[in-house]
Amino acid sequence: MIQQGHEVVSAISGEKITVGRKLGEGGQGRVFTGRRPDGTNVAVKWYNDVQATPDQKRGLLHLLKHGRPSGAAGARFVWPIDLVEHQADPCFGYVMDVIDMKRFAELGEVWAGIKPAPSFRAMARISAKAAESYRKLHLDGFCYRDISSGNLLFDPTAGDVLICDNDNVGINGQSTAQVLGTMEYMAPEIVRGEAVPGTKTDLHSLAVLLFQLWIWHHPFHGRMEYDIRSWDLPAKKRVYGETPVFIFDEDDHRNELPDDPEYDTAKLRWSVCPKPLKRMFRRVFIEGVERPEARPMEGEWQKLFRQLEDSVVTCPSDRAENIWDGESSEVVCWHCRQTFPLPPKLIFKQGSSLMLDSTAKLRYRHVQAVDEASGGDQTAGEIVQNPKKPDIWGLKNLTDVSWRMQKQDGTVREVPPGQAATLSHGMNLTFNDGATAYVTS
């Protein structure tokens, strides 16, 4: 077993990496800090002997040859950078970037109260980014096979995402049965032994993960699981594979949540879950278990979560974040139960909308075509209050290109970078690439 002070050699670059202190240990091996000859820090994962198989090495080499998926979506993968070996140890390992474990959280840490719970806005951002990254992975011909809450790290405040443990990523359709993943995330057809892991089955695992992030519960853990005395493999096969029934299926009550305080949190979180998201969960966990083709694709998830992020409205009484459901004309605050009116919104030509809440952020994806490298997530504009007249609000241009605004009475004005367009009902805005939107209350 390698240890602090040892030197390991990168198989591809030939670089010597000095092993530093141990960062952690898992079922598969140990993770150390490492220092490259140029002084930069990396993390080195060293497999234990059970895991250091020729298959694992082949898989790693394939991932290395392909390289980390490109763009902002690909950058979220903590991808293997090089294979490393040590002359006195038959095992091997790989080099990856160091993760800031203080900043990033696992869902389990949030549940245990070790890390703060993400807000609605942060959950929407985390979900959209996770969906976007898995989409990128799938487009590159891979499947993840082991999507689970332990492999998704997120910044609970900013909503940024990292996907780790990428050494188990496989080639779509060629996955051996070895890496089956964790049964509670597995698509029912894999549990039943009728399919091997692939893009379609990843879509189910992704949905389970998203459900857990929003509802803090498993979509199939209802009455059925509750009534099982012996939670063994046949029982798991039944609940996840043979008769998967969604706990919030309104037509099939076999698996609804029992009347036990254990389920209070899930019931509460479902009651405040935005309607469009509830519909999507119903689709994936009711239709999608029968027909994998019916599962929402990553792009659909991404579009939904971006819209949810753009629908955040703040309760005027207690500042609680709420998400407008896209239908109602007012919002009942989930926290204080008071009703409040909707702020004006910006409607884009393609039909999406941005609530002009005081906390809203206009992003590059709203104002111009999204380029892969940046992902369109940077802030392009923000809501500002007129310092002299607090009831007048403006949209400040944070891009480096002028916008054009046209008021309802026909007057046209430039909005240069750094300045704000005073928001008024019926006004039109033309952004960077000619993207247009209008304000409505």
Give 97 or 325: the residue with its C-beta nearer to Zn ion: 325
Q: Residue 287 carries which DSSP code?
A: I
- Answer whether 225's CB lies under 8 Å from 245's CB: no
Nearest to 180 by CA among 202, 151, 162: 202
Residue 177 touches which of ligand ATP, Zn ion, another protein, none (Cβ within 5-8 Å per kind): none
Give 101 or 158: the residue with its C-beta nearer to ligand ATP: 101
Q: Does 341 bind ligand ATP (CB under 6 A)?
A: no
Q: Does 157 bind ligand ATP (CB under 6 A)?
A: no
Q: What span, in angstroms and rounded, lies between the C-alpha atoms of 171 and 168?
A: 10
Q: What span, in angstroms and rounded, lies between the C-alpha atoms of 395 and 383?
A: 5
Q: What span, in angstroms and rounded, lies between the C-alpha atoms of 203 and 186?
A: 10
Q: Does 101 bind ligand ATP (CB under 6 A)?
A: yes
Question: What is the nearest approach in angstroms of ligand ATP to the Cβ of residue 22?
Answer: 8
Helices (H) and strands (E) in the chain, counts: 13, 24
Beta-bridge partner residues of 89: 86
Q: Does 26 bind another protein (CB under 8 A)?
A: yes
The residue within the footprint of another protein, chosen from 12, 40, 41, 50 (CB under 8 A), is 50
Residues 6+ apart with CB under 8 A from 50: none
Give 152 or 196: the residue with its C-beta nearer to ligand ATP: 152
The residue within the footprint of ligand ATP, chosen from 9, 61, 99, 392 (CB under 6 A), is 99
Q: What span, in angstroms and rounded, lies between the C-alpha atoms of 415 and 432?
A: 11
Q: Does 113 bind another protein (CB under 8 A)?
A: yes
Residue 18 touches which of Zn ion, another protein, ligand ATP, none (Cβ within 5-8 Å per kind): none
Q: Does 90 bind another protein (CB under 8 A)?
A: no
Q: Does 177 bind another protein (CB under 8 A)?
A: no
The binding track of 37-76 with respect to ligand ATP, each residue x by CB under 6 A or -, is ------x-x-------------------------------
Question: What is the nearest approach in angstroms of another protein to the Cβ of residue 263?
Answer: 9
- Answer whether 156's CB lies under 8 Å from 115's CB: yes
Task: Compute the radius of gyration of the chain from its Cα atoms.
Answer: 24
Nearest to 90 by CA among 59, 55, 61, 52: 52
The binding track of 13-32 with respect to ligand ATP, each residue x by CB under 6 A or -, is ----------xxxxxxx-x-
Q: Does 216 bind another protein (CB under 8 A)?
A: yes
DSSP track, 315-376: -TTT--EEE--SS-SEEE-TTT--EEEPPPEEEETTS-EEE--TT-EEEHHHHSPPPTTTTT
Give 85 or 165: the residue with its C-beta nearer to ligand ATP: 165
Question: What is the nearest approach in angstroms of another protein to the Cβ of residue 114?
Answer: 4
Q: Does 333 bind Zn ion (CB under 5 A)?
A: yes
Give 100 or 290: the residue with its C-beta nearer to ligand ATP: 100
Q: Does 96 bind ligand ATP (CB under 6 A)?
A: yes
Q: What span, in angstroms and rounded, lies between the C-alpha atoms of 256 and 234?
A: 21
Residue 315 touches which of ligand ATP, Zn ion, another protein, none (Cβ within 5-8 Å per kind): Zn ion
The residue within the footprint of another protein, chosen from 13, 48, 359, 424 (CB under 8 A), is 48
Footprint of another protein on residues 116-175 (CB under 8 A)?
A: 116, 150
* Count of chain residues binding Zn ion (CB under 5 A): 7
Q: What span, in angstroms and rounded, lies between the C-alpha atoms of 283 and 296?
A: 8
Of 230-238, 320-328, 377-385, 399-407, which part binds another protein (CB under 8 A)? 230-238
- Give me the sheet containing 428-430, strands edge to edge: 353-355, 345-348, 436-440, 428-430, 403-406, 412-415
Q: Does 346 bind ligand ATP (CB under 6 A)?
A: no
- Answer whether 7's CB lies under 8 Å from 34's CB: no
**What SS3 class is residue 138?**
helix
Question: What is the nearest approach in angstroms of Zn ion to the Cβ of residue 315?
Answer: 3
- Answer whether 295's CB lies under 8 Å from 202's CB: no
CA distances from 432 to 71, 144, 401, 422, 436 (A): 21, 37, 6, 18, 9
Give contact residues for another protein (rule: CB under 8 A).
Answer: 22, 25-27, 29, 48, 50, 108, 111-116, 150, 182-184, 216, 221, 226, 230-233, 261-262, 264-265
Give contact residues for Zn ion (rule: CB under 5 A).
Answer: 315, 317-318, 320, 333, 335-336
Give contact residues for ligand ATP (rule: CB under 6 A).
Answer: 23-29, 31, 43, 45, 78, 96, 98-99, 101, 150, 165
